[in-house]
Structure 1
Amino acid sequence: MDFKISCEINASARAIYNAWLNSEEHAAMTGGDANISQNIGGEFSAWDEYISGVNLELIQNEYIKQRWRTVDFLDNQEDSILEIKLISINEHKTILELHHSQLLDADFHYKQGWVDNYFEPMQSYFEKNKK
């Protein structure tokens, strides 16, 4: 199973990219502890280690591809793939397109999880911290 969702965020693509890959900003943006490498091949964890994975591809201010899983994945379940595309509308507005693939049919709830635990908190974070 896979899905695509998007949202508009009042921040530059650079600010969103940097916040996604910065442990302190990611934690402030989402409300859960994060430990994130900024390097290809580097590991990350987010949401108090509920989410973990590896950075597969990084194009500064444009694209993030990660191998991604949660503690709820089955032991024998392959990691899913997360792709984040940042489309700059202008200096202060960006569309974030998220494509989450290689999920099981039972993982459909992650779609709403992205909205509730990432998109909405990110919009609030960047409204408060104009970047």
Structure 2
Amino acid sequence: MEFTLKTTIKATAKQIYKAWLSTQGHTKMTGGVAFISDKVGDSFTAWGDHIKGKNLVLEPYHKIVQSWRGSDFKNTDEDSQIEIILNEIEAETELTLNHTNTPEDKDSEHYVEGWKRHYFEPMKAYFEFKK
């Protein structure tokens, strides 16, 4: 199963990219504890080990591709994958999220709501407050 989400955040692509790929930034912008780096091949955790994955492709300030595995995945489930595309438009950045290979036994709305509630909403608040 796969889906695509888009949102606009009042921040530069560089600010979002750097925050996503740093332990301190990711933790602050989402409110969930994360350990992450900006190196291809490095593993990461987010939301206190609820999410685990690996950085697969990193194109500074434009694209992030990561394997993504939730703690609710079954042992037999393959890792899902996220692709984040950052497109800066004036003082804002359009973030496009493509999430592929999510477990078939989960409703896609479960993941869509999770992205909105645990990422997009706190990210918007974080960058708005940071201004």
TM-score interval for Structure 1 and Structure 2 normalised by the shorter chain: over 0.9
1:129 aligns with 2:130: yes
Aligned residues: 129
How does the TM-score come out when normalised to structure 2? Answer: 0.96
Structure 1 segment 1-131 matched on structure 2, within 5 A: 1-90=1-90, 92-105=91-104, 106-108=106-108, 109-130=110-131
Secondary structure of 1:94 counterpart:
strand
Q: Could you report, residue by residue, the CA deviation over 1:27-69 in whole angstroms, capped at 9, with x for unpaired residues? A: 0111111000210000110001100100000000000000100
Cα RMSD, aligned residues only: 0.8
How does the TM-score come out when normalised to structure 1? Answer: 0.96
- Counterpart residue identity of residue 121, structure 1: P
Q: Displacement of 1:107 after TM fit?
A: 4.6
The answer for unaligned runs of 5 or more in structure 2 is: none
- Looking at structure 1, the residues matched to 21 and 77 of structure 2 have their Cα atoms a distance apart, in angstroms, of 25
- Counterpart residue identity of residue 94, structure 1: T
Would you say the 8 A contact 2:63–2:85 is kept in 1?
Answer: yes
- Looking at structure 2, the residues matched to 99 and 57 of structure 1 have their Cα atoms a distance apart, in angstroms, of 14
Secondary structure of 1:36 counterpart:
coil
Structure 1 stretches of 4+ with a deviation exceeding 2 A read: none
The answer for unaligned runs of 5 or more in structure 1 is: none
